Structure formats: structure tokens, C-alpha cells
């Protein structure tokens, strides 16, 4: 592994500091010996002078060590800031500090989509912002009028068997209500809803074409614990492939799943 420039600079600083310290100690020692010989100092005077010089030198060395460590820590802190900045700038995107932030951002993401919408939602689809399904439906209709057929895949991941009887009923009703928004507008051939029976991870994922995606920790409608929009198209492409080749592959069409769970 190639050594970083920062490490090389620190090594030069360390070597230079040790060299200067050694030279200073030698010079001071020789000077003390010379002064003692010229002025016929007594042993007591030499010891007192020596203790003072040694104390001063130890203090200087200690100060040098403190400065050296301070420079190192400051360098590390700056490196961390640079890495964090590089990650954010490299990936691009935006942090969501509230559910409202994400609610405001979603419509523009939908309107910029030209090919494929991919949603992976944990536990329920009712956590989506109000009228979100309508916004998707309107965009699909507008794009279809211009000759572009946008595909929308919605996967609901839930541990259905662990739900109570009443929760199971509501779970199905929420999905039915969501799909009705699309079927009432004649979009059932463009929108596919899947069911993935797993223990949910808690992370909801929204992928727009193969260029952007949102990762959010959204336990319920109106509640956002963490969320971020990523503009990294390379990662978005990988996320899209993962969604198509793994998530959808291991899911069941909701209509088929519903028959098996009357």
C-alpha cells in the first residue's frame, strides 16, 4: 500500500524535531562544560545549572511532543472532514431531517422519472405521503400521452403471519386501496404490486430510473427517523439490478399471493 503524503510529512516532522532536539542537547551540554571550565564552577554550581538545563530541555521536548500530537490530531480531524465531504459530494444528494422534507422532495423525483419506478416498502404502503399514489398515477398518464410507458414496481415486505387477524385485514385493504388508484385510471398494466414475506429490515427504498434512489427509515406515515436522497448513478444502477434480480425474483404478485391468503 502506498504511503500517503500526510504520513510522509509527519515522518519528516518527527525526524527533524528529533534531530534538532539532539543538536540542542549536545550544544547546551558542551556550552555548560565550557562555562564550568572557564569560570571554575564548583560541583554544586554545575549540578544546579545542569538540573535547570535538563528541566528546560525536558519542558521543550514535552512541548514539542504536545505540538506534534496536536498537529497529528488536527490532521486526522481534517482528513475525516475531507472524507465526509468527498462522500457527500461524490455521491451527491440530500439529507432529509423530517418526514416533511421527504414529502416535498418525492414529487420532483417522480416527475423526473422517464423509465422505471421501483419501491420497496416495509410493512405497509399506507406510510407513503398522502396523495403520493395519485402523483405517481398522474405522471404515468402524462408520460403515456407523450408516448412513453413508465413501469412502476411496488414491493411490500412484511411478516404477514405475525400480524393479528385485524392487522392482516387492514394490511390487505391498504394495498387494495393503493392499487385501486392505478386501476381506476387504467394503469394496471404499468403498475405491478408484489408481496415479499420476510421479517422487515425497516429501511424503505425508492429507486428512480437507474440514476437516483432514496433510503429512508420510515416506521409510519408522518414519521421519519432517517432518510437520504443519493444522486450516485453507479450505485443507483446496482440498486436497480438488486431490486430486479433479487427482490422481485423472490416476491409474489399480490393477486397471486392474495389467493393463497384469503
What integer pLDDT is reported at residue 155 of this predicted model?
Answer: 95
Q: Which residues contact 95 (CB under 8 A, 6 or more apart)?
A: 227, 228
pLDDT of residue 262: 80
Query: Is this model's pTM higher than 0.85 or not?
Result: no
Residues 27 and 153 reside in one and the same domain:
no
Q: Is 191:179 a contact under the CB 8 Å cutoff?
A: yes
Domain boundary among 58, 91, 124: 91
pLDDT for the residue numbered 253? 95
- Domain check: are 68 and 23 in the same one? yes
pLDDT at 31: 63
Residue 10 near residue 83, CB atoms below 8 Å = no
Q: Which of 56, 91, 126 is the last residue of a domain?
A: 91
Residues 13 and 136 in one domain: no
Cell numbers that stand for 145 in this block: 400521452
Q: Does residue 80 sit in the same domain as residue 127?
A: no
Q: What are phi and psi of 226, to 5 degrees?
A: -165, 145
Distance (Å) of CA 205 to CA 43, 83, 153, 167, 239: 81, 25, 12, 23, 9
Least Cα distance to 152 among 93, 110, 96 occurs for: 110
212 Cβ contact partners less than 8 Å away, ≥ 6 residues apart: 93, 109, 112, 229, 230, 231, 233, 236
Tell me, yes or no, whether 83 and 146 share the same domain: no
Cell numbers linked to 2: 502506498
Contact residues for 245 (Cβ-Cβ < 8 A; gap 6+): none
Which pLDDT tens digits describe the chain residue by residue (262 residues)?
444 455 555 555 656 656 666 666 656 555 655 565 666 655 555 555 554 555 455 555 555 555 555 555 555 455 545 544 444 444 567 889 888 888 888 888 999 999 999 999 988 887 788 789 999 999 999 999 999 999 999 999 998 988 899 999 999 999 999 999 999 999 999 999 999 988 777 789 999 999 999 999 887 777 888 899 998 888 899 999 999 999 999 999 999 999 988 8
Q: pLDDT value at position 198?
A: 84
What integer pLDDT is reported at residue 68 of this predicted model?
56
The backbone torsions φ and ψ at residue 152, rounded to the nearest 5 degrees and listed phi first, read -130, 120
Residue 215 grid cell? 433510503
Buried b / exposed e across 183-216, counting CB within 10 Å, b at 16+? eebebeebbbbbbbeeebeeebbbbbbbbbbbbb
Place of cell 422487515: 200
Residues 130 and 255 both lie in one domain: yes
Q: What is the number of other CB atoms lying within 10 angstroms of the CB of residue 94?
A: 15
CATH of the domain at 148: 3.30.870.10
Shared domain check, 134 and 14: no
Q: Are 173 and 106 found together in one domain?
A: yes
- Say if residue 102 is in the same domain as residue 121: yes
Same domain, 84 and 112: no
User: Is 214 in contact with 206 (CB distance < 8 Å)?
Assistant: yes
Secondary-structure breakdown of the chain: helix, strand, coil percentages, each rounded to the nearest 5:
60, 20, 25
Confidence at residue 147, expressed as pLDDT on a 0 to 100 scale: 93
Domain that holds residue 19: 5-91
Domain check: are 20 and 34 in the same one? yes
- Identify whether residues 137 and 239 lie together within a single domain: yes
Which of the listed residues 73, 91, 109 is the one where a domain comes to its end? 91
Domains identified in the chain, total number: 2
Dist CA 220 CA 68 (whole Å):
51
Q: What is the maximal distance between C-alpha atoms in the chain?
A: 110
Q: Which helix (H) or strand (E) holds 226?
A: strand 226-230
CA-angle at 146, arms to 142 and 152, nearest 5°: 55
Amino acid at each position: 500500500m502506498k504511503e500517503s503524503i500526510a504520513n510522509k510529512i509527519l515522518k519528516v516532522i518527527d525526524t527533524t524535531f528529533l534531530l534538532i532536539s539532539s543538536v540542542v542537547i549536545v550544544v547546551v551540554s558542551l556550552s555548560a562544560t565550557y562555562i564550568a571550565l572557564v569560570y571554575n564552577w564548583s560541583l554544586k554550581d554545575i549540578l544546579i545549572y545542569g538540573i535547570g538545563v535538563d528541566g528546560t530541555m525536558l519542558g521543550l521536548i514535552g512541548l514539542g511532543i504536545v505540538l506534534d500530537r496536536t498537529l497529528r490530531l488536527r490532521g486526522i480531524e481534517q482528513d475525516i472532514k475531507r472524507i465526509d465531504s468527498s462522500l457527500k459530494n461524490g455521491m451527491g444528494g440530500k439529507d432529509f431531517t423530517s418526514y416533511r422534507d421527504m414529502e416535498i422532495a418525492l414529487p420532483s423525483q417522480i416527475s423526473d422519472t422517464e423509465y422505471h419506478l421501483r419501491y420497496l416498502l416495509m410493512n405497509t404502503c399506507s406510510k407513503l405521503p398522502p396523495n403520493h399514489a395519485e402523483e405517481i398515477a398522474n405522471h404515468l398518464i402524462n408520460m403515456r400521452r407523450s408516448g412513453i410507458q413508465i413501469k412502476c414496481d411496488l414491493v411490500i415486505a412484511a411478516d404477514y403471519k405475525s400480524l393479528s387477524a385485524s392487522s392482516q385485514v387492514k394490511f390487505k385493504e391498504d394495498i387494495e386501496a393503493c392499487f385501486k388508484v392505478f386501476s381506476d385510471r387504467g394503469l394496471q398494466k404499468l403498475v405491478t404490486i408484489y408481496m415479499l414475506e420476510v421479517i422487515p429490515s425497516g429501511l424503505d427504498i425508492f429507486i428512480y430510473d437507474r440514476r437516483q434512489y432514496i433510503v429512508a427509515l420510515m416506521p409510519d406515515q408522518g414519521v421519519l427517523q432517517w432518510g437520504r436522497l443519493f444522486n450516485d448513478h453507479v450505485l443507483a444502477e446496482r440498486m436497480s439490478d438488486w431490486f430486479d434480480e433479487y427482490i422481485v425474483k423472490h416476491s409474489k404478485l399480490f393477486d397471486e399471493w392474495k389467493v393463497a391468503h384469503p
